[in-house]
Copies of this chain bind each other. A is one copy, B any other.
Amino acid sequence: MEYRKEIDTIIDQISFKGKFNINLDNYDHILIGGMGGSGIAGFLFSEIYSKKPVIVLNTYTCPDFVSNKTLVIAISYSGNTEETISCATEAKKKGATVLSITSGGKLSEISDQAVIIPSGYQPRSSLGFLLMPIINTIAPELRNHIDEIKGNITDIRNNENHIISISRKIFESGKVPYFISWSPTSSVAYRCKTQFNENAKMLANAGYLSEINHNELVPMGMNHDMDPFIYIAFKNSYSVRNERRLEITKKLSSRDITIIELKGKSIFSQIMYGIYFGDILSYHVALLRKVEPRDVSIIEKLKLELSS
């Protein structure tokens, strides 16, 4: 499938109905393990659901507290990510229930239940498949926002010139994009950073308010001729104080910060708006840079070297 079309399948993916059969009352906390394009689903979910502690892991090991009161959701598109398999295996030994979301591979074999998702995608363009089984199982009420999200994605597509103009600004700056957001949409900034890495083959950075006001404001506030960053902020409607902080940061740092307003009537909607926006933005920058957005062969090279 052409990669742009692959990105756009998100609109169908968020209708995905795969789910697990568990009784949530049996668990004290939820641990979501996954790396890179697979792991982002956990970060995103931890921002839209907090009725139980959700701990996101991007590590080989799992914490000492894991027990039969722990629900583990292990996400690996390939099903062969070594960190996720290692973490899930440890959790299983400690008595946790291990659910997996994967298109195949070893992970499904070591888990108690698996939702098998379609193969043939890049992990980073299968976010809907990776995310919806978590939502369908743990917070199905969030499905009420799906229609609105689809409408918002359609709006973004109908106004793509706006994204193209931002992509030109980033490209022509020759700088490293620095994406800013704040809770509960920090995952949007992080996702956008990783999409610029993989799609546009660009170094990129992500930072979250108000934390960066407590340290990074110091160098931002200096007259940095050498500032290598171009700043882009995703503004949600859930923190008046952080909106104000963004304004003051702009003023005190004298930096041109491009602000993208996240549209949507819920946290879930605003996050999905930002993620689709950022995905398309990174795609357009890839085109301007004349790089193949789908290609991440160096990651395969690393995996090959790791296994030798």
Residues on A lying within 8 angstroms of B by beta carbon are 28-29, 35-37, 39, 50-53, 55, 58-61, 63-65, 82-83, 174, 176, 182-183, 193-194, 197-198, 201-205, 208, 210-211, 213-222, 224, 226-229, 239, 241-242, 244-245, 248-249, 251-252, 296, 298-299, 301-302, 305-306
Contact = CB atoms under 8 A, between A and B. Distances in A.
Contact of A299 (B65, B182, B218, B299): B218
A225 to B, nearest CB: 11
Number of copies: 2
B302 A213 contact: yes
A106 B183 CA distance: 24
A296 B252 CA distance: 13
Which of A52, A198, A214, A224 has the most B CB atoms < 10 Å from its CB?
A: A214
A182 B198 CA distance: 21
Contact of A211 (B29, B58, B174, B176): B58
A50 B55 CA distance: 12
A37 B296 CA distance: 37
A252 B61 CA distance: 25
